[in-house]
Amino acid sequence: MKNSRKKTYGVYGLMEWYCSIPCGGARVDIPFTGGTMSGHGTVPAQYTTEDPFVQVVIEHSDYFRRGRIVLISDIEGSGRFKVPDPDEKPANVAPVNVAPEVEAPAAAPSEDDSTSGDETESEPTEDEGDTKDDSDVKKLEMPSLDDAKA
C-alpha cells in the first residue's frame, strides 16, 4: 500500500463555488473557496483533498472533462489514506479453500438393460494410500433418464 496523492483543484474566474457533482444516485458537494481577482492577477477558487474517492468523482465529472475544474497541484499525501500499489505484490495471501472433488455415483441399470449370465458386483479396490473408513457413508442411486421420460 502506498500513500494517496494530495490534489488541489481549481476553478478560474470564480472566488467561491459550491459545486454539486452527480455520482450514481447521489451528489457530492465540493466547496471551492479562496479565489481572488485584482489588478495584479487572479487566483482560482481552490479545493484540496487527499480522499481518493473524491478525486475520482471530480476527475470523472463533466466539469473536469470540459476544463471548468482544473488540476492545480498533485503532491505526495500525508498517509491518511492508503491506496493499492499496482507494482506491489501482496505479501501474505491466505490460501483459498478448495472443496475436494466428489465422485458422482454410478447410474443404476435401467429395466431395459438385459444381460445374460450371472453378474457379480465387484467393489472398487481401495487405493493403497487411502485409509478412510467408508462404512458410515450412505450410497445413493441416481434414477436413469429413461425413468424421467416415462
pLDDT in tens, 8-52: 999 999 999 999 999 889 999 999 999 999 999 999 999 999 888
Give Cα separations from 17 to 20, 35, 45, 92, 119 (angstroms).
10, 9, 7, 46, 89
> Are the C-beta atoms of residues 46 and 12 closer than 8 Å to each other?
no
DSSP 8-state secondary structure symbol assigned to residue 35: -
Q: How many domains does the chain have?
A: 1
Q: Which domain holds residue 17?
A: 2-74
Residue 103: pLDDT band with limits 50, 70, 90:
confident
Q: What is the pLDDT of residues 88-100, one digit of tens each?
A: 666 666 666 666 6
Whether 81 maps to a domain, the answer reads: no
Residue 80 lies in a domain: no
Compute the average pLDDT of residues 113-138: 58
Residue 19 CB burial class (10 angstroms; 0-12, 13-18, ≥19): buried
**Residue 118 forms part of a structural domain:** no
Q: What is the mean pLDDT of residues 65-69?
A: 94
The answer to whether the beta carbons of residues 43 and 34 sit under 8 Å apart is yes
Residue 57 pLDDT exceeds 60: yes
The C-alpha atoms of residue 64 and residue 86 are separated, in whole angstroms, by 25
116: in domain: no
DSSP H or E stretch at residue 71: strand 70-76
Q: Is residue 11 part of a domain?
A: yes
Structural domain includes residue 138: no
Tell me, yes or no, whether 147 lies in a domain.
Answer: no
> Has residue 95 been placed in a domain?
no
